[in-house]
Structure formats: C-alpha cells, structure tokens
Chains A and B, each alone.
Chain A
Amino acid sequence: MLRILKYSFFDLTRSWWNLVYFAFFLLVTFSLLYLSSDLSNAMISLMNIITILIPLVGTLFGVMHYYNSKEFTELLLAQPIKRKDIFLGQYLGLAVSLSAGFIVGLCVPFFMYGIFHSELFSQFIYLLATGILLTFTFSSISFLIALNNNNKMKGFALALVFWLFMAIVYDGLFLLLLVQFDEYPLEKFALGVSLFNPIDLSRVIIMLKLDIAALLGYTGAVFKLFFGSYTGVILSFSMLFVWSVAPILVTLKVASKKDF
C-alpha cells in the first residue's frame, strides 16, 4: 500500500494542477495578510475560501484522479495485490498531496508573518486542521462517487451536485427550517444540524474561535458553550473525522466487491 501511496503521491505532486493549487493558496494567503488590516480579518476571509474551495477542489480532483488512473488501477488489479491496498494507497496519495499543497501554501506566508508569536496561533491551527479534514472528506466522497459510476460525465455531475448540496443547498434548507419553526427554541436543533454538514461545521468552529463570534449573539453563546467545552471540541472534531473516514471505508467495501 505504501508503495502505491508513494507512486500516486509523487505522480500528483509533480502534476501541474497541484502546483497551481499550492500557488493559489500561497498567493491568496500572502495577499490577504498583506491587504487585511488585522490577522483576524484575514483569517475570516481565508475561512471563506477554505470552506468553499477546498471541498470543491477535493471533489473535482478526486473524480478526475480516479478516472485518470483507472487504467493503472486495472493493471494493478491484475497483480497479486490486495484491493484494499490499491484503493487506499491511491486515495491517500491524492488526499495527502492536496493537503500538502494546502498546508505549505498556508504555512509559508503565516510563518513569515510570525504566527508563532501571535495570540491567534490556536486559531491558525484550527484553520489548518479543518482544511485538512475537509480535503480528506471531499476527496474520499468523490472517490466513492466515481467508483460507483463508470460513466465519467455522470460521475462528475454527481460529485458536483454533492458539493453544491453541502456548500449551498443544505444551508438553504437549514434556513428554511429556522424560519418556519421560528417560535421554537432552535439552538440545540441548529447545533445538531450543523454537525451533519462538514462545511457548516468547519465554518462554525473557526468562526467561534475568532472575534467575529461576538456577532452571533445568544445563539453564538449557546454554540460557544458547546464548542468551548472539551466534549464539544472532541465531538465536533470526531464528527469531522468520521466525515473524512467513513466514505473511504465504504469505498473500500464497495471496491472489494466490484466487478471490474
């Protein structure tokens, strides 16, 4: 498995797209840090980019990578290698290379800015952690989608629809519910709902860590009470973890039974 991971990791890191991805984060982070009046504002803007763009790129890369390396996969399948190793290796190769691009792209400007000596260091770690978990989540889900669809177009479309649902439609439905059931105390409910969308969850976790949390008022206070507690932090991060691990487990299961 490690060898396959290594091959696909080096294959991907050398690819043009991954370089663009890295350069994009480098540029955006640099310019945000340079243009924003304070670190907190730059982090909020970065959070917006991370929670929207990382899932999108993760999704598209995942599908693309699966279809591109399909022949290679089939070749490997003919060899005496475990299916689990093949798919896990390829998936990890993708997720790790994307994360690496993101981590380096984000870290270099922040380190140069002196994040180690800033009081926002823990917030920066949150930003990094959610970004990585989101990469893993969305690339694994897109792998699963691609595996289930031999038709490329359908695979791409489904993956995009999934991203669209998580990034936008989910919030729309969420808002609709909040407006409909306005008379009821909805804080706990809202807390539950946000746990089930990795994008919302990441956004809320980061936002509560930053100054902007003061705008969230009473609802924010309820959330802060939850996310500020150990159980809250553990539960929210384990939820993000589940989001990033569960799809790949399903993928491996499906892959082991699939007739190629």
Chain B
Amino acid sequence: MKIFYLSIFTLFLIKSATYQSKAHILKVCASCNYTTITGAVRDAKAGDSVIVEKGNYFERDITITKPIFLIGIGYPVIDGESRGEIITVESDSVTIAGFQIQNVGTSYIKDQAGIQVKGKYCQVLDNVLLNTFFGIYLQKAHFTLIQNNRITGKAINQISSGNAIHVWDSKNIKVLNNEVRNHRDGIYLEFVDESLIENNISEYNLRYGLHFMFSNDDDYLNNVFRDNGAGVAVMFSRNIQMIGNTFDHNWGSSSYGLLLKEIYDGKIEKNTFSQNTIGIYGESANRIIIERNTFMNNGWALKILGSCMDNVISGNNFSGNTFNLSTNARKNYNIYDGNYWSDYTGYDLNRDGIGDVPYRPVKLYAYLVETVPTSILLLRSMFTEFLNFAEKVNPTFTPEGLIDQSPQMKKFDL
C-alpha cells in the first residue's frame, strides 16, 4: 500500500512538474469543494488532477473529456447501483488509479463497463472492480496500459455477461498483473495488434480465460488460466507468442486448456498444462512451434485435427495423460520429435538418452474414439488395453508416419 501511494505520488509529482503553472489539484470528499466526482471532472482542465478521498460515491456515467489524472486515495467506492456505465474516457492520456468501482448495469443493447476508454495513451492502474458487466473496455485506445487491477464479475450465463478486460481495435496495449474472474471472457482481444499480456491471473470465467480474435503479433507471457470454460482461445490470428503460461484445471465436458483455430506462425513455449480435459486443441493451426511444454494429467494432452499442418512438437514432457495425442487424420503433416512420453516402454542400448525404438503417440483406441465418439464408453476397460497393445505390436490403423523417432528416456528438466 505504501509503495502504491508513493508511486502515485511520484507519478503525480513528475506529471505536475511537466504541466507546472497550469496544473491544479481538485479534491473530492464529503467536506471538500467538490462532493461529486462528476463535478470535479467537469471543472478540471487538461493536466489537472482530481484526487478523490475515501468514501462512497453513488455516481455513474462520469465522462472524462480532457487529459487528467483521476486518482483515488484509500480506494474510494464508486457505485453505479447496477444502472449504466461508471466511467467513460473520451480523451487521450487519461490516468485512472486507485478506485473501487462496483455494480455496473447489465444491458443487452449497450456494452456498459466499469471503465470505458476511447482515447489513446491512457492508464488504468490499481483499481478494484466488483460486480461488473464489462470491467475495463478499450476501443481504439492505442498505447494504453492496464495494470494491477482486480476485476470480479457476476457472470451466471454467457448471454447476460460481459468480459473483464475487453479490447477492441487497438494497437500496442499492455495488460499486466491483473486478476480477472467470473466474467464471460477474462481478457478479450479483437483486432488488437502488437500487444503484451503478462502476469495476469484469469479464473472462473464462463467461456475463455483469454480470447484472441483477428489479432496479430501479440505476446502473452507468464499468465495463469485456471478453471475457465476454456483457458485460452486463439482464433484467426497470426504470430502469437505464448510463453511461460499455466493452464490449470480447465476441466469439463467441453473444456480446453488452449484452443487454436485458424492460427498461423505462433510459438507455444515453456507452458504448463495440467488437469485440462484437452490440453491443446488444434483446428487449422499451422506452422506453430510447440516446444518445452509440460503436459500433466490431462484427458487429452493434444488433440490435433487433420486440418493442422507443419507444426513442430518437440522437447515436451508428456506424463500421466489419459491420451497423449489424438487425431482424426490418416496421414501426418506435423513433426513430432524428441519428446518425453511417460508411457514409452522402449530401451536405450547406447545410453545416449534417446530411445532406440520409435514411439507412436496415437493409440489405436484414441483413434477409435476420434472416429466413433460413443466408443469412449469403453475407456479404461481391459479390451481397449488389448487393442492398444495389438496395435503397438503391429501398427495398421494409426496414422502413418506419426512417429516420434527420438523419444527421450528421461523427463526434461523444464
């Protein structure tokens, strides 16, 4: 908390120094000149700071049209009383920090948010948002920073819920260290390019923890996606770097850790997938490099459909998954090489750490389940074990060429 005040204070000092003569401070509290935030914001001039003291403010549709700093001390509460939007930013270079913003109205016509930003170079920092329809909503807000916010929604079903952080048609956005939960999507990006999503925690969202649509050249690093309908969905996007994330317990009859659809040239590296129904589901995913990830205790570690081509899957750890890989293709167009598979039973005579017998990741039963879904009923029955064994001895059904030629004898230390 102290650090927060300090940082706000220094920020404030620096900024006020740059505006020097004309910058003013407008205080809002029960006994101040201004008792409403709306009033102070209306009277503030470009470069001014509106400092809001601790207290409850029942206000909504606060519209900011000038580049100002709106700063809360001790998390003052702005309550929208479940009607309408709370703060709308229609100017560039606005900073909003240190508020507790709660009770945003649900609407089926308008996308109402706790904080809606329509200007560039804005900053939304250290806020707590509760009971939101949309949490933070950016439109054409290039170069905006969203950092250290905690957003908790009220989503019960997908139709009447919004996204915690929603970004539309923006470039160079940074979303850092936020915690988002109980919305439709945790973080939603549509037409968002060259942006960075880092160190966020996204959990208990109905649909996706993080959702890319038509967004290119973005990075998401070191985030945690837990207990969402699906961890991350990347659709119709190019050049997405996905590194160091944790996909944990996205578990349910139609859940995924990571859903790839119509995506090209991405990189999936050093992530951990544990206890997801499907670790990575790939449909028309092309030229993706999947390296040095850990797949642990998933239903399916990978489900790569026949429409995926030229992907490289190597150097990963697969352990304790019910199925390591399943596909509906008869031919293989991807490269599987040098992974560790916990159910590999081959030997290594020359002791170079690489198994001498190639490994076939697709079991016959996994293939059968993909073609005849009802046969999943025989999961864990003795017959399927026999089936897999027979296929292993004499492969006839599983895709030709889908072989890991150099399976590792020991687990990678990742």
Residues of A within 8 A of B (CB): 37, 41, 44, 47-48, 51-52, 167-168, 171-172, 174-175, 178-179, 182, 186-187, 190, 194, 200, 203-204, 207, 211-221, 223
Contacts and interface: CB of A to CB of B under 8 A. Distances in A.
Contact of A211 (B251, B320, B371, B376): B251
Given A182-B371, A204-B377, A214-B252, 13 more contacts: A171-B382, A178-B375, A190-B377, A203-B381, A212-B380, A213-B253, A214-B277, A215-B299, A215-B322, A217-B253, A219-B373, A220-B376, A221-B253
Contact of B386 (A168, A174, A178): A168
B197 to A, nearest CB: 27
A171 B376 CA distance: 12
B322 to A, nearest CB: 6
A2 B124 CA distance: 79
Contacts of A37: 297, 320
B372 A179 contact: yes
Contact of A174 (B299, B368, B378, B379): B378
Nearest to A221: B253
Contact of A203 (B253, B255, B376, B380): B380
B374 interface: yes
A174 B376 CA distance: 12
B229 to A, nearest CB: 12
A211 B253 CA distance: 10
B380 A216 contact: no
Interface of B: 251-255, 277, 297, 299-300, 320, 322, 368, 371-384, 386
Nearest to B296: A37
A211 B371 CA distance: 23
Contacts of A220: 253, 376
Contact of B253 (A179, A200, A214): A214
Given A215-B299, A217-B253, A217-B373, A175 B383 contact: yes
A52 B320 CA distance: 22
B357 to A, nearest CB: 26
A221 B374 CA distance: 11
B373 A215 contact: no
A156 B300 CA distance: 41
B374 A219 contact: yes
A219 B376 contact: yes
B381 A200 contact: yes
9 contacts: A168-B383, A171-B382, A171-B383, A171-B384, A175-B378, A179-B375, A212-B380, A214-B251, A215-B299
A124 B379 CA distance: 20
A216 B379 contact: yes
B295 to A, nearest CB: 15
Looking at chain A's contact residues, the main secondary structure is: helix
Closest 8 CB pairs of A and B: A171-B383, A215-B299, A186-B374, A214-B277, A171-B381, A219-B374, A178-B374, A168-B383
Contacts of A194: 377
Contacts of B375: 175, 178-179
A215 B277 contact: yes
Nearest to B253: A214
Contacts of A44: 380
Contacts of B297: 37, 41
Contacts of B300: 215
Contacts of B380: 44, 47-48, 203, 207, 212
Contacts of A51: 381
Contacts of A203: 380-381
A160 to B, nearest CB: 14
Contacts of B379: 207, 212, 215-216
Contacts of B253: 213-214, 216-218, 220-221
Contacts of A172: 383
Contacts of A221: 253
B144 to A, nearest CB: 38
A219 B377 contact: yes
Nearest to B255: A214
A179 B251 contact: no
A217 B255 contact: no
A174 B322 CA distance: 21
Nearest to A211: B251
B227 to A, nearest CB: 13
B320 to A, nearest CB: 8
Nearest to A220: B253
Nearest to A44: B380
A94 B300 CA distance: 42
